[in-house]
Amino acid sequence: MSECAQIIAVLKRSLKARGTTYRDLANAVGLSEASIKRIFAEETFSLARLEQICAALGLSIAEVARMAAHQATPGGQQLTIEQEQVLASDWRLLACFHLLLNGRAPTDIGRELNLQERELRRLLVKLDAAKLIELQPKLKARLRTSNVIAWRSHGPVRRLYEQQVKTEFLQADFTGRHELISFASAELSEASAKILTRKAEVLARDFAELATLDAGLPDGEKRSMGLLLALRPWVFSMFDGLRKKA
């Protein structure tokens, strides 16, 4: 897929995520609906027009480009082993990075983690040295990663926290608002398993893109959400034991 096509794909998903129609977008940028449809179909964006469309979606061109660059990785961007080792070495550093990923300003992070300015600056300097952020004047920071990280399956962070996260996340009855759990087990063909895997990857990518879209929202308009996706060949131990006895 060309870079232009990747950017347009991000814009289309952003429209869908926000429930914005081509007609809504046309009204926002002062064009006819037919013109908007033609621009998307022919991929004929001038920079000025792209900036208008991004602004109508509450995004910058830089944010859209970053989302396009990382969309090939289902569920987010993968860090280097060295970057994960740095984060795993200090829980406060990992917490600081997590809050930055979710759009928090460094000063807000200092208050939330009860950090003195000197300690906060020390953490930001370490993140900058690891090339995870760009530390800017007046204690500001710009991410050098996507807003969602795909932690390595056997990497330092998951080895340290995975079991605790799984246990804590599943300790709920999942009956509250925005809570959902569904489990199914069935015998599927190889083709069906591949289809389900692709659909799960799409959902993971959608989660990552929505997180990027919402990172700039005020704290009062968003809340921390967790999404756990799991799919593998599996037989419940009770049934497996019966089969062996038979």
Domain co-membership, 96 together with 30: no
Q: Tell me which range, 12-16, 104-108, 125-129, is most confidently predicted by mean pLDDT.
A: 125-129
If one counts the domains in the chain, the total is 2
pLDDT confidence of residue 90: 94
Domain co-membership, 100 together with 212: yes
Domain co-membership, 211 together with 107: yes
Domain co-membership, 159 together with 134: yes
How large is the average pLDDT for residues 189-215?
87
Is the pLDDT assigned to residue 71 strictly greater than 60? no
Is the pLDDT assigned to residue 150 strictly greater than 60? yes
Comparison of pLDDT for 240 and 246, the residue scoring more: 240
Q: Which of 46, 70, 94 is the last residue of a domain?
A: 70
Beta bridge partners of 133: 143
How large is the average pLDDT for residues 220-242?
84
Instruction: Give the residue among 94, 70, 226 at the shortest CA–CA distance from 158.
Output: 94
pLDDT confidence of residue 1: 54
Comparison of pLDDT for 170 and 236, the residue scoring more: 170
Domain co-membership, 122 together with 84: yes
pTM for this prediction: 0.65
Count CA atoms closer than 13 A to 80's CA, side-chain side.
Answer: 7
Q: Which two tokens stand for residue 200?
A: 């799960």
Q: How far apart (Å, rounded) are the C-alpha atoms in residues 117 and 71?
A: 35
Is the pLDDT assigned to residue 209 strictly greater than 90? no
Domain co-membership, 146 together with 205: yes
Is the pLDDT assigned to residue 245 strictly greater than 60? no
Is the pLDDT assigned to residue 197 strictly greater than 60? yes
For the chain, the maximum distance between any two Cα atoms, rounded to a whole number of angstroms, is 72
Domain co-membership, 19 together with 134: no
Question: The tokens 């599996």 sit on which residue?
Answer: 234
For residues 147 and 212, is the Cβ–Cβ distance under 8 A? yes
Contacts of 84 (CB under 8 A, 6+ apart): 151, 152, 155, 156, 157
Q: Report the mean per-residue pLDDT for the chain.
A: 87
